[in-house]
Amino acid sequence: MTSGKGKAPAGKSKARPAAAKTKGRTGGRATPSRARAAKTTAKNPFLQRWTTPFEIPPFDRIRTEHFKPAFDRAFAENLDEIAAIAGNKAAPTFANTIDALELSGEMLDKVAAVFYNLSSTDSTPQIQAIEREIAPRFAKHGMAIYQNRALFRRVDALMRAKAKLGISQEQERVLERYHRGFVKSGAALDAKAKKRLAAIAQEGATLGTRFSQNLLADEQDFLLMLESEADLAGLPDSLRAAAAQTATEHGHPGKHAITLSRSSVEPFLKFSGRRDLREKAFKAWIKRGANGGKTDNRRLVADILALRAERAHLLGFKSPADSTLEYSMAKTPANVKKLLGEVWGPARARALEEREALQDAVLAEGGNFKLAAWDWRYYAEKVRKTRFDVDEAEVKPYLQLDNVIDAAFDVATKLFGLSFAERTDVPVYHPEVRVFEVTRGGRHVGLFLGDYFARPSKRSGAWMSGWRSQRRLGGKDVRPIVVNVMNFAKGAAGEPTLLSMDDAHTLFHEFGHALHGLLSDVTYPTVSGTSVERDFVELPSQLYEHWLERPEVLSKFGRHYQTGKPIPQSLLDRLKAARNFNQGFATVEYLAAAIVDIDLHVLEEPDGLDVDKFEKKTLKKIDMPEEIVMRHRIPHFQHIMGGYAAGYYSYMWSEVMDADAFRAFEEAGGPFDREMARRLYDYIYSAGGCRDPADAYIAFRGRLPTTDALLEKRGLKRAAAA
Ligand SMILES: [Zn+2]
């Protein structure tokens, strides 16, 4: 799972609760001058009805200059709608408040979806300029809605009368989401507390920015110069070239250098034969943010935690973790800790076995020292090479992009009865984009767009997004339009594009998200498709990856692009074994960080916390092997000081679930078992956020997930039994 994955469609939205996260100043509204608006109406596609096939945005007619007037109109329209709902003289009902909110902001949705998809896939300096201008307006817009006292009173009244409203489970979830959006924005607080909440948000943002800037400064200040050939011992050509490039960028042309960015220092630790240099680089790397002086983050962390605790208390929670987890599948810090704890034991046991193997490797080459943290990656790479001599590049000729796309489609056909037909009569935003109409039993399901190749105007990573989410509210069956965006290197002219196994997994992963959007079958946009809890959203995507490496799929679609021969099973087996190697280390490194994250955010009074002491104490409690350092130490734990507080666990949470969910198929009739596929469709892929995620999982699986299948998948099972 990478950070770019799983971006929800049309994420930048308006009145709906998803926008509750937006922070910013409250303020007035922008209304375009009527004369100007009238003049642009004639040509601006956003101000006209779309007559394109499937009402897809008329990309061929949309110009950059259309966005600003369209945003102006859309913000104004939405605020008028909100004012009408809030000012309604009639007593609040579900229909005149929640339905009305759900139906509002249609134009803002459309403009934002086109704009933000374009800004990440085919950006220009002009689009970036609009982006900078629009971001604070979205923040302001969110505040104008979620701090609207009259509107909150209506939602709150409905929430209190929930049991007597006679509403469906789905409606109840929608109501709860709105209510939560208001409460977390401080709408329920008195003026003084509200003011303090705003101040906390502002102060927190400032401290968060300083945290990242300090970290960047520490990473940039350090340069390990590799002066001589001896300093380059062990480094492969690609790494030498990168180190030469780094040196040039830092004003030392003709030399080699390593920085503290992960992409520079981690390969160096893996390959450098110079133990003294590894030690130097490693020690600097793990001290980022804790070097004393102006860039030290330790005090900042304590201040940020204190602000978060204060915010949680203001909102009525015991701790920041309790506040974050209230609406998640995990629900409580205790549940998170229980899950992490279950994996910790077997992972640690495996890591200790790995440590022994690495120590043996040290001795075997005549080294007379005890393995240290800066040795781990180096000896792990050596052992991996001797035990599983496998080159990822061997797989590529078997994985042609077009075939992997077909494979992803074929799995969806077998599981859910979907058909895919390419359409060339639909406008696209870039000539490389492919469009497929998705149908089920002859009925239109939605449009799937594939945008597969890297280009300079696209941001890096891979993600799913969309222009329209499925909904039925208002008597109209609106079908989704979703996209998968990748950054594959395009094959040379006349040659097919070949993927690595990782690339193929990414394609299946994002297609799993796409199916979650496409198969959605709900009434309300707020709970449509991928609009589910943060620790649940990766289930449909990660689960889908399991089908890729099934023999039923690979033997058919994984064929050599020259010989047509299927990929050899022995090659797959070797790859799998190589992948399982060093999983003890990887799991321990990750889990330690996840445990520290949760422990930090359950603190009720973190004021003046001694970050070093806290980290040491927590690691001692779990008996952290001293040769492994947590993946992100607190002074440079960007994830949790950014927006992912008490959320680092969710990578493991999702992995536990996807392993357990696929096991359900294996326990039934195999990977395409019809009854399991039906349940998967009913309770997961089509259900959006209509249910509590734990209930949805139980409906699918018959019980909550256990860690058993994950331990097996990561190859930790044997250690568990030992
Ligand atoms: Zn994802």
Burial of 407 (0-12, 13-18, 19+ CB in 10 A): buried
140 pLDDT band, cuts 50/70/90, is confident
Q: How far is the CA of 585 from the centre of ligand 1 (A)?
A: 23
**For tokens 């390969």, what's the residue?**
267
pLDDT tens digits along 642-659 = 778 899 999 899 999 999
Q: Percent of the chain scored above 90 by pLDDT?
A: 79
> What are the angstrom distances between the C-alpha of 416 and each of 519, 581, 629?
9, 35, 44
Over 50: is that where the pLDDT of 20 sits? Answer: no
pTM for this predicted structure: 0.89
Q: How far is the CA of 659 from the centre of ligand 1 (A)?
A: 15
548-553 LR contacts (CB < 8 Å, sep 24+)? 548/404, 548/407, 548/504, 548/505, 548/508, 549/576, 550/671, 552/671, 552/672, 553/407, 553/410, 553/411
pLDDT at 639: 85
What CA–CA distance (Å, rounded) separates 606 from 497?
A: 52
161 pLDDT band, cuts 50/70/90, is very high
Q: How far is the CA of 654 from the centre of ligand 1 (A)?
A: 10
pLDDT tens digits along 74-132 = 999 999 999 999 999 999 999 999 999 999 999 999 999 999 999 999 999 999 999 98
Burial of 657 (0-12, 13-18, 19+ CB in 10 A): buried
Q: How far is the CA of 538 from the centre of ligand 1 (A)?
A: 5
Least confident of 9-18, 53-62, 254-263, 336-345: 9-18
Q: How far is the CA of 534 from the centre of ligand 1 (A)?
A: 11
pLDDT at 16: 58
Segment 187-215 shows an average pLDDT of: 90
Active-site residue flag, 510: yes
pLDDT at 15: 52
What CA–CA distance (Å, rounded) separates 331 from 320?
A: 13
More confident site: 576 or 63: 63
Q: How far is the CA of 458 from the centre of ligand 1 (A)?
A: 18
Q: Which two tokens stand for residue 215?
A: 């970290």
User: Mean of the per-residue pLDDT values for the chain?
Assistant: 91
Segment 565-589 shows an average pLDDT of: 91
Q: How far is the CA of 597 from the centre of ligand 1 (A)?
A: 21
Segment 176-183 shows an average pLDDT of: 95
Closest C-alpha among 201, 213, 68 to residue 126: 68
Q: How far is the CA of 85 from the centre of ligand 1 (A)?
A: 36
pLDDT at 670: 96
Q: How far is the CA of 539 from the centre of ligand 1 (A)?
A: 8
pLDDT tens digits along 475-518 = 989 999 999 999 998 988 899 999 999 899 999 999 999 999 99
pLDDT at 577: 86
Segment 317-328 shows an average pLDDT of: 94
Q: How many CB atoms lie within 10 A of CB 704?
A: 14
Cβ contact 400:496 at 8 Å: yes
| Catalytic residue (one of 219, 310, 510, 627) | 510
